[in-house]
Amino acid sequence: MKKIFYFAAFAIAGYMGTDAAQAQAQNPECSNNLSIYVEHAKVKNYDAAYTPWKMVYDNCPDLNWANFAYGERILADRVEKATGADKNAAITQMEQLYDNRLKYFSNKTNKAETLIDKVILKYDNKMTSNDEVYEMLHKAFTEDQKNFTNPKALYLYFSSLVDLNAEGKKDLDLVFETYDAVMAKIDVENEKYTSVIAKLLPKEDANTLTSKEKSQLKSANSYSEVYGKISESIDGKLGALANCENLIPLYEKNFEAKKNDVNWVKGAVGRMFSKECTDDPMFKKLFEAQLALDPSAEAYMYGASLKLKAGDSKGAVADFNKALELETDGRKRSDIAYKIATTYVRTSKSSARSYAQKALDANPSNGKAYLMIASLYASSANDCGNTTFEKRAIYWKAADVARQAGRVDPALSGRASQAAASYAAKAPSKEDIFNSGMAGKTVSFSCWVGGSVTVPSL
């Protein structure tokens, strides 16, 4: 994400180190013009700021970071206002600014940010192609992935590749490989914020957050939501490309050439599993290749799913548990437990909830596990009560669990809010509560769900 820098006139001197002071002594005009353009830029009078800024930028580029922080704003204003050849010239000037920012202040920026800023500048002004967007962002992603954190750039990177595939310029296999890499990066970035949220939510519930912590929680929620929206957009862009009809022939074609590439095999197995292509013989073939290359926790989990489909419930449970025993990393263990839960959704709701709960025990920020449990509760309405009112009361419980998904992982807030609203709409209405005389009373569930809910008071 781009940083926003704030300047005050009295702080200008503070930005100047020994080198800057020497530059000032050599060219006092630079120092004078620096003060002038900063004062104009502070009040967004960018037209007046341009000439003194350009004098400093051209003659003393490394005098002060303000040359680039304010320079970007000054040039962005010119790009926005200009047309035709003037606009093109302003955009070229801004690209050069980004390159020089890295040249003179490499401690304040990086390669990924530089390439991303240049791509987005030209993309927003409709001056680039899918080929150029992809190639530049691919360079940024592969050469400086650590600093490739801009959500919009992550989407553009993948989106441009999908468009190039549609044009016949890029292979589908590359689309899937890039999808995995980009989604993994989003997970890494979102994990930073959900970790902060997990630490602060108990304090929020106890109403003991400091003002600083409130700000941290708000920021973490905001960033996590953005990554969630980008993740959904990327899934939408992938669309029907990732279905069994495309995956199976692709993996059949490439298997012999790539069967010893552990990363390719693991990606193929994971994708076929997530898209429920496990009935096809190709899944078993890929799974056996993974087991030979990497007999890991995930391999046991996939093997267990095959046993479950074959009717070997006892063997499946043993392998599922073995998978969890082998994995020691909390988040990976949580992901495996969640995947195990998905295999039970249609056959045993209680087992699905049990493994979803294991996922939450390993990682309390796993919002997907909460959404699954909420869905399991909602789908059990007809089994959990004697009267219509009691059966529909389960939706209150489902809605509460769905809301918790959005609290622990704001990246899922959109899906969580939508699910909670849908469940709440199916719960008894105020009129139903009034007619039943159940306001404020407790409804217990004697089915597999167990527990109870308190009927809202009128």
Question: Which tens digits make up the pLDDT trace of 156-201?
Answer: 999 999 999 999 999 999 999 999 999 999 999 999 999 999 999 9
Task: Give the domain range for residue 424.
Answer: 384-458
- In this prediction, residue 26 carries a pLDDT of 55
Structural Rg of the chain based on CA atoms: 28
> pLDDT > 90: what percent of the chain?
84
In a domain, 95, yes or no: yes
pLDDT for 19 beyond 50:
no
Query: Would residue 210 count as lying in a domain?
Result: no
How far apart (Å, rounded) are the C-alpha atoms in residues 370 and 357?
8
Does residue 217 lie in a domain region? no
Q: Region 253-259: what's the mean pLDDT?
A: 94
Reply yes or no on whether the pLDDT at 15 is more than 80: no
Q: Residue 14: pLDDT band by 50, 70, 90 thresholds?
A: very low
- Choose the final residue of a domain: 88, 109, 130: 109
Query: Hey, what amino acid is at 133?
Result: V
Tell me the mean pLDDT in the region 398-425. Answer: 97
What's the one-letter identity of residue 249?
A: P
Q: Residue 408 CB: number of other CB atoms within 10 A?
A: 21
Helix axes 262-274, 244-258, angle to 10 degrees: 160
Tokens standing for 425? Answer: 């709409």
Last residue of one domain, picked from the residues 109, 140, 169: 109
DSSP string, 271-320: HHHHTT-TTSHHHHHHHHHHHHH---HHHHHHHHHHHHHTT-HHHHHHHH
Structural domain count, the chain? 2
Vertex 212 angle, CA 211 and 217, to 5°: 95
Q: Which of 109, 133, 148 is the last residue of a domain?
A: 109
36 within domain boundaries: yes
Q: Amino acid letter at 458?
A: L
Assigned domain for 103 exists: yes
Q: What is the pLDDT of residues 361-411, one digit of tens each?
A: 999 999 999 999 999 999 999 999 889 999 999 999 999 999 999 999 999
410 within some domain? yes
Residue 428, both tokens:
């008894």
Q: Would 129 be classed as within a structural domain?
A: no
Taking the C-alpha atoms of residue 54 and residue 50, their distance in angstroms, rounded to an integer, is 6
Mean pLDDT for 24-40 is 86
pLDDT tens, residue by residue, 299-326: 888 888 889 888 898 999 999 999 999 9
- pLDDT of 1 strictly over 70: no
Structure tokens, 124: 């927003």
The residue with tokens 């606009």 is 87
Q: Look up the pTM and report it.
A: 0.84
Q: Residue 91: inside a domain, yes or no?
A: yes
Candidates 423, 426, 425, 369; CA nearest to 400 is 423
Residue partners of 399: CB distance under 8 A and separation at least 6: 374, 419, 420, 421, 423, 424, 427
226-247 pLDDT, tens digit per residue, is 999 999 999 999 988 989 999 9
At 369 the pLDDT is: 98
d(CA 183, CA 186): 5
Q: Which of 98-102, 277-281, 424-428, 450-454 has the lowest mean pLDDT?
A: 277-281
